[in-house]
Amino acid sequence: MGLKLPVITLATALALGALVGCQAPGAGSAAPPAASAAAPAAPSAQPSSPEAASASPAPPTQPAALRPLKIQVPNKGAAFTFLYVAKDLGIFQQHGFDPDIVAMSSSVASAALQANELDFMAAIGTATRSALRGLPIRLVYVESTGPDHVLLGAKGLTSVQQLRGKTIAAYGPANNVNAMIVELLRTEGLAPGDYELLNVGDGGPRAAALVAGQAAATLLDNSNALPLKREGYPVLDRVAGKLGILFIGLAANSSALQTDRARLSDALRAAVEAAELTHAQRERVLPVMQQEFDLSPDDAAEVYDGLRPGWTADGRPSADTLKFEFEMDQRELELPEPIRPEQVFDFTLLDEVRPRR
């Protein structure tokens, strides 16, 4: 016969259940105390439903890569402060650009701009003359028409007239520095044949030529002229108040203005924003000038104040500036017909970025 199992009655089962419930926590497989039911449940490793999965936060997105932006300056000078403000204060970066402000001779820059190796050139005097020679370059923004340059003479000179028959240190052909020297001396009665121009390049070499006695005078912007003025080199004349020319701004490749318009528009918007900040917030600009151009606080303030009168109000030159510039260029380039603005400018991009007020 098989083994008989004891019969467990309902009363017996209830008694056994009561005994199990009285065991200490952790004994055998007993359930935790009822108080633990109030504790928050641990988060589930997997979503319990498709709806829960869709509510999960998305992974963080990577910031968009900055677009390259290459801008030429003929030298690292204070006249181009608005570009360094745009870079150092993060304005270019806020508009999605990684800026590269590169010092490059103006003649090389014209060729680089045509080859789309540059986005903009800031030496708009050379860009103007390149456009008038038929190259596909147009000025899209004019930052300054009033250079802060001074004509410094050798020690002992007291007037421009004493430069007759002398050598003057200049930059190079088809450059604003040379054009300003010629026109400044013309206002004092000296024709180009009354002196000789020695082309040596940027402000540093021009100053060195003056100090070394290789030249009797040279034209320097105020930041380069300050040390020499302190050493006793006399100021023979000033450009400010005499010449209004296309000095600092931005020029672009005409074809790129059509094929790469959206990107150039964004870049111009950033540059205009930086220019407006430069004109209005002196206290934020002076530290940039001190750092970028190695100026003392006092010198930075003096240079800033010297630049201010030349800045344009809306990125465009005045009628008087255009008249002087175009007459000068027509004479220098021996053009048979008067110059028309459309030969030089394309302000349609500026109109999109900053409509006329």
**What value does the mean pLDDT take over residues 44-73?**
67
Angle, CA 213 vertex, CA 210 and CA 214 arms, to 5°: 80
CA 199, CA 205: separation in Å to the nearest integer? 10
Q: Spell out the domain ranges in the chain.
A: 67-146+245-353, 150-238
Q: Are 102 and 71 in contact (CB under 8 A)?
A: yes
State yes or no: pLDDT of 299 exceeds 50.
yes
Tens of pLDDT, residue by residue over 107-158, are 899 999 999 999 999 999 999 999 999 999 999 999 999 999 999 999 999 9
Structure confidence at residue 13 as a pLDDT band (50, 70, 90): very low
Token pair 């020297």 in the structure block, residue: 181
pLDDT at 83 over 80: yes
Report the C-alpha gap between 278 and 261 in whole angstroms: 25
Instruction: Please classify residue 162 by burial: count the beta carbons closer than 10 Å to its beta carbon, then call 0-12 exposed, 13-18 middle and 19+ buried.
Output: middle
H or E stretch covering 209: helix 203-211
Find the range with the poorest average confidence among 27-41, 112-126, 156-170.
27-41
pLDDT for position 173: 84
Which helix or strand (DSSP H or E) is residue 144 part of? strand 137-144
pLDDT score of 81 more than 90: yes
Confidence check: pLDDT of 244 > 50: yes
Asked if the model's pLDDT at residue 27 lies above 60, the reply is no
Tell me what percent of the residues of the chain surpass a pLDDT of 90: 74
Residue 20 and residue 18: Cα distance in Å, rounded?
6
| pTM, two decimal places | 0.76
For the stretch 194-243, pLDDT in tens is 999 999 998 999 999 999 999 999 999 988 899 999 999 999 999 988 88
Q: In angstroms, rounded to a whole number, what is the distance separating the alpha carbons of residues 278 and 286?
A: 9
pLDDT of residue 327 exceeding 60: yes
Q: Are 317 and 145 in contact (CB under 8 A)?
A: yes
Chain position carrying tokens 């930086």 = 274
The per-residue b/e assignment along 72-88, b for 16 or more CB within 10 angstroms, e otherwise, is: bbbbebbbbbbbbbbbb
Q: Whole-number mean pLDDT of the chain?
A: 86
What is the model's pLDDT at position 232?
Answer: 96
CB atoms within 10 A of CB 301: 15
Q: What is the pLDDT of residue 332?
A: 87
Across 178-200, average pLDDT: 95
**Structure tokens of 345?**
């400018």
| pLDDT over 70, % of the chain | 82
Q: What is the largest CA-CA distance in the chain?
A: 143
Q: Which residue has the tokens 């790469």?
A: 260
pLDDT band at 5; cut points 50, 70, 90: very low
Query: 67-146+245-353 maps to which CATH number?
Result: 3.40.190.10
Q: What is the CATH number of domain 150-238?
A: 3.40.190.10
DSSP 94: H
d(CA 276, CA 268): 12
Please say whether the beta carbons of 123 and 84 come within 8 A.
Answer: no
230 SS3 class: helix
Instruction: Give the pLDDT score at 23.
Output: 44
pLDDT > 70? residue 22: no
